[in-house]
Amino acid sequence: MKKIYVATFGCQQNEADSETILGIAGTLGFVPVSTPEEADLILYNTCAVREHAELKALSTTGQLKHLKEKNRALKIGLCGCMIQQEHRKEDIKNKYPYVDFVFGTNMIPRLPEILEKVYGEKKRHFFVEDFDVNPGAIVEDLPVRHRYPYKAYVSIMYGCNNFCTYCVVPYVRGRERSREKDAVVRDVEKLVREGAREITLLGQNVNSYGKDLAVPVSFASLLGELAAIPGDFVLRFMTSHPKDATSELIDTIAASPKCERHFHLPLQSGSDAVLKRMNRHYDREKYLSLTRELKEKVPGICLTTDVIVGFPGETDADFEDTLSLLKEVRFDGVFSFIYSPRKGTPAEKYPDRVPEEVSRARMARLLDTQLAIQTENNEAFVGRTLVALCEGTSKNDPAFFSARSSEGKLIHFPKGGGAREGEFVRVKITAAKAIMLIGEEVK
């Protein structure tokens, strides 16, 4: 039996893809190992959303050269979003001769065929196809090796049709393709039977799920049907696009206790002018209206978002609009990034680039503003008892467990109260920090 090591860069969709890769490899006799040094086959599943992610993947790949020199039988492969870009594929061809093969994001179901060629032919292979030639058929019932027995990702769709001007995703994952509703329901029912307590539905824009099916289905109706499945579990989902978030979806969340009280709604900018240049298809007021409706219909819901700082042409006034929106909505978490040009996207050619020092100064102000808001938000939880899924020993202190509440809050609490990994636990919050809550287990 050969040993395989898979490392994942990027988003939850990449994590889900890696679990499928490991599942397929398992049917071919490969056993997963925890370090590349142990492996007969190394696969890196790469990301292209920001330059930093690409450079990290390339740097880590460069560190494999010495392993190849020690073991000529070792096979090294790269897959994922970065590989789908022609210039990165050429980089691998010319600068990383010890990489044996690459394959694109639409070719995971063909992994057995790919590995047969890799092991059967003494040459390098580049399995990357244009989405116009091969959009990527949805293949059901592929084997999956989930990382955790108590929580799982379920992809409900692939690709994106939005073409935000800064984003490379439509080019590296193709157009939107939804899975049939019955197939998703079967997956979730199976996971619940097997003991999953948290299931996260994935898509580049889950709110547009089902529009492309022969018989269209709304994401809200899918979510409602999944929430009606018997069992002790909760549902999360990501990512939502504000332009497609509906009152029907919000009503479904409000009516379904199994839907977590956490909603990730990417903002990107609080300025109408910047949102227009980003091609986001909503304005500031539309976004604020959505957040107001969420808070009115789902009391206690926690909102998180994404923000890009320093988008081409962003003025001081535009940035102030973003800060003021953060203060008005009072997010429970903000994933913020300095704009990173992506080759082949419209924004790459936009003039009026924001100087790096200006972007960094704005980022520092945004982080300070959000840190204060998060701290105040979390302090409001002190004295409350939350139900959370225990996720095992804390990475920061082996004497503590980490858990995640319905509101998406990270909670640390001392061991010794009977809680076990993978089970729901009630925790009384005794203290709060900006990025976590601290509590004690209660019966």
The CATH number of the domain where 190 resides is what? 3.30.750.210
What pLDDT digit, counting tens, does each position of 198-224 carry?
Answer: 999 999 999 999 999 999 999 999 999
Question: Which tokens go with 320?
Answer: 């102030």
Alpha-carbon span 334 to 147, nearest angstrom: 26
Question: Does 305 fall in a domain?
Answer: yes
In a domain, 217, yes or no: yes
What average pLDDT does the segment 393-404 reach?
95
| CA dist., res. 370 & res. 352, Å (int) | 27
Q: Where are the alpha helices (DSSP H) in 299-424?
A: 316-329, 356-379
What confidence category does residue 425 fall into, taking pLDDT thresholds of 50, 70 and 90? very high
CATH of residue 396:
2.40.50.140
Q: Output DSSP code: residue 259.
A: B
Instruction: Give the end of a domain, one of 333, 354, 380.
Output: 380
Count the Cβ atoms, other than its own, within 10 Å of residue 20: 20
* Residue 431: pLDDT over 80: yes
Quick one: average pLDDT of 130-159?
A: 89
In a domain, 300, yes or no: yes
CA distance 254 to 231: 19
Output the pLDDT for position 22.
98
* CA–CA distance, 413 with 387 (Å, rounded to integer): 12
Predicted pLDDT at 135: 73
Query: What's 48's DSSP letter?
Result: -
Phi, psi of 297 (to 5 degrees): -85, -25
Separation CA 90–CA 414 (nearest Å)? 51
Distance CA 12, CA 151 (A): 13
The chain-wide mean pLDDT, for the chain, equals 96
Residue 345 and residue 287 share a domain: yes
Share of residues in the chain with pLDDT > 90 (%): 95
DSSP of 23-66: HHHHHTTEEE-SSGGG-SEEEEEE--SSHHHHHHHHHHHHTTHH
Classified as helix, coil or strand, 116 is: helix
Phi, psi of 274 (to 5 degrees): -70, -40
231 found inside a domain? yes
With respect to residue 136, please indicate whether it lies within any of the assigned structural domains.
Answer: no
Q: Give yes or no for residue 132 having a pLDDT over 80.
A: no
pLDDT given for residue 37 in this prediction:
96
3 touches 127 (CB < 8 A):
no
The answer on 228 and 122 residing in a single domain is no
CB 388 within 8 A of CB 424: yes
Domain boundary among 338, 360, 380: 380
Q: Considering only CA atoms, which of 102, 206, 89 is closest in space to residue 159?
A: 206
For residue 123, pLDDT beyond 90: yes
Question: Are 52 and 107 members of one domain?
Answer: yes
Give the domain CATH number at 324.
3.30.750.200
Q: What does the alpha-carbon distance between residue 405 and residue 382 come to, in Å, rounded to a whole number?
A: 14
* pLDDT band at 80; cut points 50, 70, 90: very high
Show the domain range for 194.
Answer: 146-260
pLDDT digits (tens, 9 = 90+) for 338-397: 999 999 999 999 999 999 999 999 999 999 999 999 999 999 999 999 999 999 999 989
